[in-house]
Amino acid sequence: MKLSITRGPARAAACTAIAARLLLGLMVEAPVTHNGAWLSAIMGGLLAAPWLLCVQYLRRRSSDNPALLSFVLMALTIWDAAVVLNAVTRSAGYLALDRSPPAVLALPIGLAALWCVYRNGDAVGYGAMLWARIALILLPGIALLQVRYLRSEWLWPLLGSGWQAIFDGAVESAGSIVAAAAVLLLEDEKSEGASKQPSPMPMLAGAVATAVAMILLRLMMTPTQLDDGGWVNRLDSLLCNGRAPLYLQLPLIVMWFGGLLHLLACECFAASAFLQQLCAPLTGRLCGLLIVSGVLLLSRFEALVGLRGAVSRWSFAAAGILTALTMLRSAKPKGGLAECAPDH
């Protein structure tokens, strides 16, 4: 089986994955931004925009990704998928009444991601399209029903911990966007001409706008704690803060888990496809099994997952520089005489 994804599903998959990744990173993983988290999301999107444009240029020039770029993006998506799997497992443990061990919770999540990879890229993308339609119904409904519980004064101070924390959050968010949107480098253009290739900017804007809306709703629902608060406390503030009735908490929990599961499936598929590009003899099923197994194993090392912020900052710089150099190299005209040129 060859792992592939066409342009429409790839854009849908990336859009949903980016929105979920920004919400996870800025609301649960990175407490230092405080009320400035929504500004970090916007700035992170602006920082990642040139990278997406470079990706679009590379897809126009060639359907084959350079081996080094594929390897770096594969390593990045494996790492980020492990962080996401750890977050889904911890979220499930937070809601599980029987306090199941993390390994017991992680295994079915990994099997679900493997099944998604086996269905191939278009299935992941069309699943994202369906999920986006469901989210468009749930999110406005949640906002309207929660409006009497929202407090706009809790958005102040707008800058939260200051510009430095906002910029740090923006750089980490940009690195997370690179991992979530790596699937765009796998777009299959055989059925469409390069001239018809749409810009990825509307997709990025939609993803960032969705994440910003979710962040603002969270900030207006509960006052921001000035101290760290802990991972579980921040998740509790997002999902089960007690201010809204239970019937409003359930749709938000559905959006949370649905978004994270899609993000995990998208990154596992992207990493598996990159692995198949690097090792052509491997089948898609074997690549998926190897990647998901690696993600499951890596997600169990809490110390490694705890380095998420530093890795995101490094990965954004590395992926950006490497993609730009690849783009410049592909734009350089090849030397030598044309095949039909006369010999002087």
Is the CA virtual torsion 106, 251, 241, 29 positive or negative? Answer: positive
25-34, 321-330, 335-344: which range is least confident on average? 335-344
At residue 81, does pLDDT exceed 90? yes
At residue 338, does pLDDT exceed 50? no
Q: What is the mean pLDDT of residues 11-35?
A: 88
Strands 187-188 and 5-6: parallel
Q: Specify the pLDDT at position 232.
A: 81
63-67, 158-162, 290-294: which range is least confident on average? 63-67
The encoded tokens of residue 278 equal: 């690097």
At residue 339, does pLDDT exceed 60? no
Q: Specify the pLDDT at position 341.
A: 45
At residue 27, does pLDDT exceed 50? yes
The encoded tokens of residue 277 equal: 């590009």
Q: Specify the pLDDT at position 320.
A: 86
Is the CA virtual torsion 209, 213, 219, 220 positive or negative? Answer: positive
pLDDT tens digits, 239-281? 887 777 777 778 888 889 999 999 999 999 999 999 999 998 8
Q: Which residue has the tokens 């997370």?
A: 176
Q: Specify the pLDDT at position 99.
A: 73
Q: Specify the pLDDT at position 149.
A: 84
The encoded tokens of residue 74 equal: 């594969």
Kindly report the backbone phi and psi dihedral angles of residue 5, in degrees, each rounded to the nearest multiple of 5, phi listed first. Answer: -150, 140
Q: What is the mean pLDDT of residues 212-224?
A: 88
Q: Specify the pLDDT at position 319.
A: 87
Regarding predicted confidence, which is higher, 302 or 175?
Answer: 175
Q: Specify the pLDDT at position 333.
A: 54
Distance, CA of 282 to CA of 287 (rounded, Å):
6
At residue 2, does pLDDT exceed 60? yes
The encoded tokens of residue 135 equal: 């989210």
Q: Specify the pLDDT at position 238.
A: 83
Q: What is the mean pLDDT of residues 298-306?
A: 78
Average confidence score pLDDT of the chain: 86
Confidence class of residue 4 from pLDDT cuts 50, 70 and 90? very high
30-39, 192-201, 312-321: which range is least confident on average? 192-201
Q: Specify the pLDDT at position 337.
A: 42
3-state secondary structure the chain: CCCCEEHHHHHHHHHHHHHHHHHHHHHHHCHHHHHHHHHHHHHHHHHHHHHHHHHHHHHHHCCCCCHHHHHHHHHHHHHHHHHHHHHHHHHHHHHCCCCCCHHHHHHHHHHHHHHHHHCCHHHHHHHHHHHHHHHHHHHHHHHHHHHHHCCHHHHCCCCCCCHHHHHHHHHHHHHHHHHHCHHHHHEECCCCCHHHCCCCHHHHHHHHHHHHHHHHHHHHHCCCCCCCCCHHHHHHHHHCCCCCCHHHHHHHHHHHHHHHHHHHHHHHHHHHHHHHHHCCCCCHHHHHHHHHHHHHHHHCCHHHHCCHHHHHHHHHHHHHHHHHHHHHHHHCCCCCCCCCCCCC
Q: Specify the pLDDT at position 188.
A: 82
pLDDT tens digits, 123-135? 999 999 998 888 8
